[in-house]
Amino acid sequence: MGMTERLNEDLKAAMKAREEGKLRLSVIRMAKAAIKNQEIQKSQPLTEEEILQIISKELKMRRDILPEYEKAGRSESVETIQAEMEILLEYLPKQLTEEEILALIRNAVRETGAQGPADMGKVMGKLSPLTKGQADGKVVSALVKQELSGREAAD
């Protein structure tokens, strides 16, 4: 089943669930609207990968705004955003653990011959296709920075 069909089926299920499915329904509708807008812009249906990119983008927007709500002490909004993020994560490939990301980073450092923070671009270029949709870019970037800083200190 493709992502579009899955979203449609989940939308129907959320509509039938009435009160319990309201948040899920709103998140699915938002995702479908973002997908539809992109299809209209491109004048053609999106590929599965493009749909995943849109869902990843929606997840990233929530990750980015979450700290602002936490700082403002808006706990109800924080809970809603976290619940929305969990719903969106269901549609993305399994997320990589920190250990899996570190293993990919070490492999990329070895392959590129990176020596320190100045080589971050080379490492990130190698990692981006491997982690796309499976890890937050900020987390990957921070881990790469940490790994390369450690290498510089070891030299």
Do 10 and 76 belong together in one domain? yes
State the pLDDT confidence band at 80, using cuts at 50, 70 and 90. Answer: very high
Q: Which CATH number covers residue 136? A: 1.10.10.410
Do 53 and 110 belong together in one domain? no
Do 69 and 130 belong together in one domain? no
State the pLDDT confidence band at 93, using cuts at 50, 70 and 90. Answer: confident
Do 41 and 12 belong together in one domain? yes
Do 35 and 111 belong together in one domain? no
Last residue of a domain, one of 65, 89, 113: 89
Q: Which CATH number covers residue 23? A: 1.10.1510.10
Lowest-pLDDT range of 72-86, 95-109, 141-155? 141-155
Do 70 and 102 belong together in one domain? no
Cα 46–chain centre separation: 18
The two structure tokens encoding residue 126: 């190698």
- Taking 80 as the threshold, does the pLDDT of residue 83 lie above it? yes
Do 77 and 106 belong together in one domain? no
Last residue of a domain, one of 53, 68, 89: 89
Give the model's pLDDT for residue 6. Answer: 92
| Model pLDDT for residues 130-142, shown as the tens digit of each residue | 887 788 888 888 8
Do 102 and 59 belong together in one domain? no
Domain containing 122: what range?
A: 98-154
Give the model's pLDDT for residue 151. Answer: 66
Alpha helices by DSSP H, the chain: 3-16, 22-42, 48-71, 75-89, 98-112, 120-131, 137-154
Last residue of a domain, one of 46, 62, 89: 89
CA–CA distance, 11 with 3 (Å, rounded to integer):
12
Do 111 and 149 belong together in one domain? yes
- Taking 60 as the threshold, does the pLDDT of residue 153 lie above it? no
